[in-house]
Amino acid sequence: MRKILLFFIFYLAVCHCASGQAIKVYFSPNGGCQQAVISEIRKAGQTIDIAMYYLSSRDIAQALVKAHENNVRVRIVLDQGQEIESASKSTYLIKHGFDLRYHLGFGLMHNKFAIIDGKTLITGSFNWTLTAEERNEENMLIITDEGTIKEYQARFEYLWNTSRLDARNARGLEVFPSWFCSTFRLFCRLSIDNAWADDDTSSAPAIDTYNKAVRLYEAQNWDAAKDCFHEYLAEYSDTPLYVTCLYYLAYCYQQLGDKDQSVLLYHKVIDRAQGGDAFWADMAQKRIQEILE
């Protein structure tokens, strides 16, 4: 009986040690989250798969560039709002030849996880931003449990396969030449050069209007969001996010009970959508059927 008890105690101790090794826990502000992420990136030998709502940390972006230069395959899925967000490192990473996409789901791509070499998972509430590192109350886990990682890997593949390329490399180019960037900047009325620099600031009015509209949309303040999307569409009719904003505007009207206006706008989405925006045409068609039923 004593031997059985000792064996049981030993077994529990082994399990406890194993579980302790399988999960590392971090908190912010200033709890080492960012440095832990960078350390795991530096360990990568083959692959890094990232699904991140917001990626604006210069230090993490630079660590990713180093990994990419060391022939690590890096795939990144971001929320589509990051395409024109001034602080986002999306353009910086595209400039360095990264395979980067934006998720096409109806709501936010609000995940914050990364998988390193299929063996290490980084997940939690921690966005890869300086604000999350220095100001916010966040949590982050580093997990090596095989079964958990398998579930996350499957989810990443789903996100990757339901996402689109950035408008700046949608033709298979790693980076458009500088003359195109200058034309694109004038055409879209966006400060692309500011986004391509390493700094995290920009005063582009299109970005401010879009971000304000999205924040109101997320808060389900449909009337105020409607006005902001109207403002954006009136001023920036030829930007890559035009069809996306048009769809969101239609949904605002739908939530406000104006069926006729929402159907009219959904039809405009269908008429304008092409290429990478085809997803929104499909969504608009489903919304029309939903309204007419």
* Distant-in-sequence contacts of 146-154, Cβ < 8 A, 24+ apart: 148/121, 149/115, 149/118, 149/119, 149/120, 149/121, 152/113, 152/115, 152/121, 152/123, 153/49, 153/115, 153/118
Which of 66, 96, 110, 230 is catalytic? The answer is 110
CA angle at residue 58 from 54 to 64, to 5 degrees? 85
Give CA–CA dist 126/5, Å, rounded.
42
112 a catalytic residue: yes
Which of 49, 112, 166, 226 is catalytic? The answer is 112
The single residue listed with the structure tokens 């009015």 is 205
277 a catalytic residue: no
**Of 66, 74, 65, nearest to 47 (Cα)?**
74
227 a catalytic residue: no
Which of 117, 145, 200, 258 is catalytic? The answer is 117
The single residue listed with the structure tokens 């692959």 is 47
**Cα four-point dihedral sign 91, 175, 183, 78:** negative
Give CA–CA dist 1/226, Å, rounded.
73
Give CA–CA dist 69/36, Å, rounded.
20
Task: Name the residues annotated as catalytic.
Answer: 110, 112, 117
